[in-house]
Amino acid sequence: MKLIELDTVNSTNTWSLEHFEDLEDFCVVSANIQTQGKGRFGRVWVSDNCKNIYMSFVLKPEKKDYIANLTQYLSVVVSKIIEKYGVKPEIKWPNDVLVNGKKICGILCETKLFNNKIKGVVLGIGINLNMEKTELAEIDKPATALNIETDKEINKNEFLNLLLSEFEKGYKQVTEEGFLSISAEYKKRTNFLGKKFLIQQKDGAQKQEILIKKLNDDGSLTVETTDGNEKIIFSGDLFT
């Protein structure tokens, strides 16, 4: 897996999308600092700490059917690495990784289209490895970092290498078989089944109350809305 290391960039996702044609399949672009780090739903991902991870996988799989599951795959991969540090993560559907209810990692997947056809994806990830408590307090949602959870400074290179080799292990299988190839590993790290949440499905949209009934074989959720109807949810953000 080729690693392209940048110092400062607007966003590793934006940069990778701009250079997509020239970048080889399965390469990784990482940066020390992002000046315009992006989160899901148009949010900002504060990226001014070079001890954290900001990076993007450039992926051009032959079979495109399961690219929507790559974010869930990456949430499992990151969880496995966090566990190696003796910390217990939890996956919040679809792909947030939390520790003690606080977010430690965010994932943003963007699709590269050409003539309305999918060419591949840029799968971006930000991981809080080393942060001060004061820095975390400035984030508008509960957030934590691995150094806080372990009480130790985290070696960024070591974490990155573990992450890349773990990502490589199951990547081919998930692109060929989809969510089913990771559902057991995903499910055992979740805690949302049978619980009530508010869901926001678009930026700025009103939140709706739902009861999560089932995690489906394709990674989507079957939920019950307050009027008693069941529906299937493919994307969104859960709030308690």
**19, 20, 33, 43: which one contacts ligand BTN (CB under 6 A)?**
43
**61, 106, 219, 236: which one contacts ligand BTN (CB under 6 A)?**
106
Asked whether the beta carbons of 93 and 238 are under 8 A apart, the reply is: yes
Residues 6 or more apart from 112 whose CB is under 8 A from it?
17, 20, 118, 119, 120, 121, 122
Of the pair 58, 181, the CB lying nearest ligand BTN is at 58
In whole angstroms, what separates CA 48 from the centre of its chain? 19
Residue recorded with tokens 């691995």: 146
Judged by CB under 6 A, which stretch of 122-130, 150-158, 163-171, 173-181 contacts ligand BTN?
122-130
Query: What type of residue sits at position 14?
Result: T
**4, 12, 148, 174: which one contacts ligand BTN (CB under 6 A)?**
12
How near is the Cβ of 41 to ligand BTN at its closest, in Å? 7
**4, 23, 32, 54: which one contacts ligand BTN (CB under 6 A)?**
54
Q: Does 128 bind ligand BTN (CB under 6 A)?
A: no
Q: Does 167 bind ligand BTN (CB under 6 A)?
A: no
Of the pair 124, 236, the CB lying nearest ligand BTN is at 124
Structure tokens at 239: 């709030």
Q: Does 13 bind ligand BTN (CB under 6 A)?
A: yes
Instruction: Tell me the helix, strand and coil percentages in the chain, rounded to 5.
Output: 30, 35, 35
Residues 6 or more apart from 238 whose CB is under 8 A from it?
92, 93, 192, 197, 198, 199
Q: Note the residues at the interface with ligand BTN (CB under 6 A).
A: 11-13, 34, 37-40, 43, 45, 54-56, 106-108, 124-126
